[in-house]
């Protein structure tokens, strides 16, 4: 019998094996200062494109005031206990009612964390007789929720309607044999590519197949749709989403999440969501803060207008300068370049140190080998000057990538990587 920790000593994992070269800079970087369009990285000011503060609420003075007042009144402990036991309050109910109204659903239920809540919601919705069909590019929280499922599950090719229908046919045959049902899971906006899920077309398939639709709209909530109710509102099918999920960690610049659906569905879930039944209630200062943020979403459309002014300026500027931003249909702005992982590391270091631009880098195995994805999140806090400086910086790094500068600079890193593979 081997020691349980043998695998830890011998294999640090696909990312962990590069910790020595990457940690503290490329992964686990330390941004400092108030959350804003410009922050500090290693003592230098950088334009930050990696903060999901879409509407610029994180340091909005009205938000900071309410957060501080709530912390002073309630502290960070109240209420103590799980919602079912001693952690339930009128303000929790008020926030749920307002969230349900905002996303045009009968009822809603608060979740302490988005990731935890998604995993638990999937677990509660299905039994071993049921079949799950989900997008192959689904977020990790969806994948982990599906892993708990004891029944059959199928992935479909990303946003591929033919693949969706093929897998619905497979699921239907199995469900007819087991006596179960079908849950189809899509994201409203896919966080890496920025593409919206094919929700309208998926809903059309309900005419042919008997399934329920669960949508993770973390990046759509607050940013898409006439009122900000998300990708479903944007595509005109919000009523056809059976269970709607969104997090507070993006547009609301806070901690927590919620699910929304018909009242009977929510009543069932709140008695069967293990992550909420056996966990402490969402603390009051976060509930009060979320109420204020939601009020601002409803009453200050200029926040979303400013966000989209910046999104359009950034994305149009990138396209006009010949950059490949894929097929994004949201605020998420991916920039695709061709190069190796060592070249990507040299490129990002140049971008941060010499151009003062900080954005997230994504490489293999998240995307295919030979590609570099620079993922940018424009917010309402950014300025046109931020965008202009970033476009100049991106043109400079592309030239160095294409003329081989980064390949030469990364030769030692390439050698180190080759020795580990």
CATH classification at residue 173: 3.40.640.10
Angstrom distances, CA of residue 407 to CA of 17, 336, 410, 411: 22, 17, 5, 6
Same domain, 241 and 217: yes
What pLDDT score does 127 carry? 96
Same domain, 99 and 200: yes
CATH classification at residue 401: 3.90.1150.10
What CA–CA distance (Å, rounded) separates 206 from 123?
Answer: 22
What pLDDT score does 412 carry? 65
Full domain range(s) for residue 247: 61-299
Written as six digits, the tokens of 294 are 């939601």
pLDDT tens over the chain, length 421 residues: 888 888 888 887 766 777 777 788 888 889 999 999 999 999 999 999 999 999 999 999 999 999 999 999 999 999 999 998 999 999 999 999 999 999 999 999 999 999 999 999 999 999 999 999 999 999 999 999 999 999 999 999 999 999 999 999 999 999 999 999 999 999 999 999 999 999 999 999 999 999 999 999 999 999 999 999 999 999 999 999 999 999 999 999 999 999 999 999 999 999 999 999 999 999 999 999 999 999 999 999 999 999 999 999 999 999 999 999 999 999 999 999 999 888 998 999 999 999 999 998 888 777 788 899 999 999 999 999 999 999 999 999 999 999 999 989 877 665 555 555 5
Same domain, 342 and 391: yes
Same domain, 250 and 121: yes
Same domain, 25 and 79: no
Same domain, 50 and 78: no
Same domain, 179 and 108: yes
What pLDDT score does 23 carry? 80
Final residue belonging to a domain, choices 278, 299, 320: 299
Same domain, 172 and 93: yes
- Sequence-distant (≥ 6) Cβ neighbours of residue 287 within 8 angstroms: 89, 91, 92, 95, 110, 256
- Count other Cβ atoms within 10 Å, centred on residue 313: 18
| Long-range contacts of the stretch 37-45 (C-beta < 8 A, 24+) | 37/379, 37/381, 37/382, 37/383, 37/386, 38/386, 39/358, 41/352, 41/358, 44/352, 44/353, 44/356, 45/356
Same domain, 349 and 379: yes
Same domain, 311 and 393: yes
Same domain, 208 and 148: yes
- Sequence-distant (≥ 6) Cβ neighbours of residue 102 within 8 angstroms: 227, 228, 229, 294, 297, 298
What b/e sequence results for 196-230 when a residue is b if at least 16 CB atoms lie within 10 Å of its CB, and e otherwise?
bbbbeebbebbeebebbbbbbbbbbbbbbbebbbb
Indicate the number of domains in the chain: 2
Asked if residues 344 and 363 have their Cβ atoms less than 8 Å apart, the reply is yes
Final residue belonging to a domain, choices 254, 273, 299: 299
What CA–CA distance (Å, rounded) separates 359 from 320?
Answer: 20
Final residue belonging to a domain, choices 299, 314, 341: 299
Same domain, 48 and 158: no
């Amino acid at each position: 019998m081997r020691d349980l920790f043998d695998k830890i000593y011998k294999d640090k994992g696909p990312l962990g094996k590069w910790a020595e070269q990457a940690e503290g800079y490329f992964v686990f970087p330390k941004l400092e200062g108030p959350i804003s369009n410009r922050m500090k990285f290693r003592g230098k000011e950088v334009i930050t494109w990696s903060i999901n503060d879409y509407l610029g609420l994180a340091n909005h003075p009205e938000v900071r005031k309410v957060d501080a007042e709530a912390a002073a009144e309630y502290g960070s402990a109240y209420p103590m206990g799980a919602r079912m036991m001693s952690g339930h309050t009128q303000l929790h109910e008020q926030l749920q009612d307002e969230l349900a109204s905002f996303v045009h659903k009968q009822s809603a239920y608060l979740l302490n964390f988005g990731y935890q809540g998604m995993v638990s919601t999937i677990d509660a919705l299905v039994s071993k007789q049921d079949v799950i069909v989900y997008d192959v590019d689904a977020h990790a929280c969806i994948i982990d929720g599906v892993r708990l499922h004891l029944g059959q599950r199928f992935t479909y090719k990303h946003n591929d309607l033919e693949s969706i229908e093929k897998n619905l046919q497979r699921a239907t045959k199995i469900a007819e044999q087991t006596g179960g049902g079908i849950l189809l899971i899509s994201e409203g906006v896919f966080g890496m590519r920025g593409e919206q899920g094919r929700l309208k077309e998926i809903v059309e398939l309900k005419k042919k197949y008997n399934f329920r639709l669960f949508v993770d709209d973390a990046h759509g909530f607050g940013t898409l749709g006439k009122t900000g109710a998300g990708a479903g509102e944007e595509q005109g099918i919000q009523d056809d989403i059976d269970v709607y999920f969104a997090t507070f960690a993006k547009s609301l610049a806070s901690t927590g999440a919620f699910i929304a659906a018909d009242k009977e569905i929510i009543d069932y879930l709140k008695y069967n969501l293990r992550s909420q039944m056996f966990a402490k209630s969402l603390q009051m200062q976060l509930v009060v803060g979320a109420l204020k943020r939601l009020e601002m979403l409803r009453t200050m459309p200029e926040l979303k207008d400013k966000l989209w002014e910046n999104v359009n300026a950034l994305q149009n500027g990138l396209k006009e300068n010949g950059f490949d931003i894929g097929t994004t249909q949201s605020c998420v702005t991916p920039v695709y370049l061709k190069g190796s992982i060592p070249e990507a590391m040299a490129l990002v270091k140049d971008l941060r140190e010499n151009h003062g631009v900080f954005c997230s880098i994504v490489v293999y195995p998240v995307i295919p080998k030979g590609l570099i994805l620079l993922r940018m999140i424009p917010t309402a806090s950014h300025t046109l000057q931020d965008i202009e400086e970033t476009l100049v910086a991106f043109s400079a790094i592309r030239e160095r990538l294409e003329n081989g500068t980064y390949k030469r600079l990364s030769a030692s890193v390439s050698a180190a990587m080759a020795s580990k593979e």
